[in-house]
Structures are given as structure tokens and as C-alpha cells.
Amino acid sequence: MKKYLYAITFLLAALTAMPAAIAAADLEINTPAIAAIQGSMQARHGQLAPYYASGAVGLTRDGLVAVRDANAVPLKDRQGVNSLVAAENKDRNALYKEIANANGHPEWESEVRNTFAQRWVQKAQGGWWYQDAGGGWAKK
């Protein structure tokens, strides 16, 4: 019985310590790989900004971007917007993975993603669209 009690106590202690360890992750860590990804994202942002502003593209609850309203994009531009969104999502996925790896904890990738998802919405300009926790779209 003591063994089970000890095991349960240890497990509970480990689980409650886990969020504190993740909170200690350096989300501002910089490596050459992270800098390259961020540079690519910065270069693309100017192209995406008008689509965020028009509501055609929005921020998803999982830290990515999505075409929210294809009708807000002229037909001749839709393929280009889809390509921009795909490239942005590729970089965002790579960024989350690289930050977790640079912290020495690849298992933290989903927590890094969730933190960034919240940050993207907080830093979004008024009028941009984002997904709420339930997956519905809301305008900031």
C-alpha cells in the first residue's frame, strides 16, 4: 500500500510541476534556425496584412492562419493567398518545433504552440479575425 501511495504522490508532484517547467521555457530564445524562420515570416507579413485586414485570412486557435472568407479575395488572387497561407503555416509549425527544441524540450511543442496562438491574437490589430476556444470566428 505504501508503494502505491508513494507512486501516486510522485505522479501528482510531477504533473503539477510540469506547467511550471513549461512556463520557464524561453520563448524568446534565438538560434540561426529560429532567426531564419522569423525572417521568412516577417517578409511575408506585408503580403498577408491586407488579407488579415479584409477578414479573408484569420488566426486559428492552434497558432496557424487560415483562409476565413475566400469570397473576400478576388478570384485571380485566391491561389496566391492559399500559397501565402500554406507558407506561413509551414513556418509557424517549424517555429514552434524549433523553439521547443532550442529549449531542450521537444515535448513542449504543443505548449509553445498554444502560448503563441494566444500571443498572436493579443498582438493582432483591431478588425482582424481569430478563432475562439470553441473554433468560432470572432473579430478583434
pLDDT computed for residue 6 by the predictor:
37
pLDDT computed for residue 136 by the predictor:
97
pLDDT computed for residue 133 by the predictor:
92
State in Å, rounded, how far the first CA of the chain is from the last one: 54
* 3-class secondary-structure state, position 127: coil
DSSP 23-86: HTS-TT---HHHHHHHHHHHHHHHHHHHHHHHTSEEE-TTS-EEES-GGGS-GGGHHHHHHHHH
Q: Where are the domains of the chain?
A: 27-139
- Please give the chain's pLDDT, 140 residues, in tens: 444 333 333 333 433 444 444 557 899 999 999 999 999 999 999 999 999 999 999 999 999 999 999 999 999 999 999 999 999 999 999 999 999 999 999 999 999 999 999 999 999 999 999 999 999 999 99
pLDDT computed for residue 23 by the predictor:
59
pLDDT computed for residue 25 by the predictor:
83
